[in-house]
Amino acid sequence: MLCSRPAIQVMAANLPRPSTRAMATAGSKLADKLPELSPIKDNAGTVYGGKFTVTLIPGDGTGHEIASSVRTIFKAAHVPIEWEQFDLSGYTEAQSGTVLKEAMDSIRRNRVALKGASTENTEGEYSGLEHQPVPGVVESLKVVTRAKTERIARFAFDYALKNNRKKITAIHKANIMKLGDGLFLNVCREVAKQYESSGIKFGDMIVDNASMQLVSKPEQFDVIVCGNLYGNILSNVGAALVGGPGLVPGANIGREIAVFEPGCRHVGKNIMGRNEANPTAMLLSAVSMLRHLGLEDKARQITQALNAVIQDGTVLTPDVGGRHTTTDFTLAIIANL
């Protein structure tokens, strides 16, 4: 899944039909279902001494464990990257000010970041604009703007062109939210007309129907563009179809900055410190980052090693039916580099 953090999400939804057998037991088939992101390369990272400098924010829960796995694999693969790591978890609001500013300065300077799962507020239902006019009554504001909707719609079509995708589906609830989602849908339609000569098909679907269709007939979707709340729900449905949240990468592509992170924001606090976390989502996000930086050879090398481990099915973490640790899985990937 690709996420544009102005508010809206783009999902590369080339999903298989769900199997009646539990996905977690199908280790040899998982590699064929892992998505690969190839974001639009709008911005290169910052290079010092022949190496890219990347901001690393491990995130909450098992973030440190999966970030450590990625760093270990990158080191073994001799990836030309230097990390600037910032630990933002566990601070109170008063304590976080300085370290958060340092992390933000690092991201602005490096223009590329890799982060673990955490929470964020943006447009749409995630604008964070809530108030309580009277006790017992809460009003939440949903924000939709033409500028940011047009931006993500164009990104969706550009992504489809670059990655040979054939169809874009806009997900909405314009039948009820006629102004907010109506604006979103109308802008997507306007942008679609500008890409008619590309041959990319455009359609739309109401979000409740899309949830059912994604489970019953996932093959009908190619690229999905939608608001943040809808995207978070649908991306988790998609993740379940391909094996779980530990497998799905994500990317946040801005005009000047790109931040890569797992596509499903599950922090995994229930397995924190148990060395059981699946680093695949974080690793694939990091691989997408390598492609964004133009390091295609290293991206291919790591992807092939990861696929080899999953296809073999011998060393897998518990979330996909295995009995091995994060460390075991990491070392198995390194052995296949």
Q: What is the pLDDT along the chain (337 residues), one digit of tens a residue?
A: 343 444 445 665 544 433 322 333 344 455 555 555 555 455 566 676 789 999 999 988 888 999 999 999 999 999 999 999 998 876 666 666 788 888 899 999 999 999 886 545 456 666 778 889 999 999 988 999 999 999 999 999 998 998 899 999 999 999 999 999 999 999 999 999 999 999 999 999 999 999 999 999 999 999 999 988 898 899 889 988 988 888 989 888 888 899 999 887 677 778 888 999 999 999 999 999 999 999 999 999 999 999 999 999 999 999 999 999 999 999 999 999 9
Residue extents of the structural domains in the chain: 2-128+140-335
Cα–Cα dist 288/294, whole Å: 10
Scan for tokens 């239902």, then name that residue: 125
DSSP string for 312-323: H-SS--GGGT--
pLDDT recorded at residue 20: 28
pLDDT recorded at residue 25: 36
pLDDT recorded at residue 61: 82
Q: b or e along 294-329 (b: 16 or more beta carbons within 10 Å of the residue's beta carbon)? A: ebeebbebbbebbbebbeebebbbbbbbbebbbebb
pLDDT recorded at residue 33: 53
pLDDT recorded at residue 94: 62
pLDDT recorded at residue 254: 81
Cα–Cα dist 144/154, whole Å: 16
User: How would CATH label the architecture of 2-128+140-335?
Assistant: 3-Layer(aba) Sandwich (3.40)
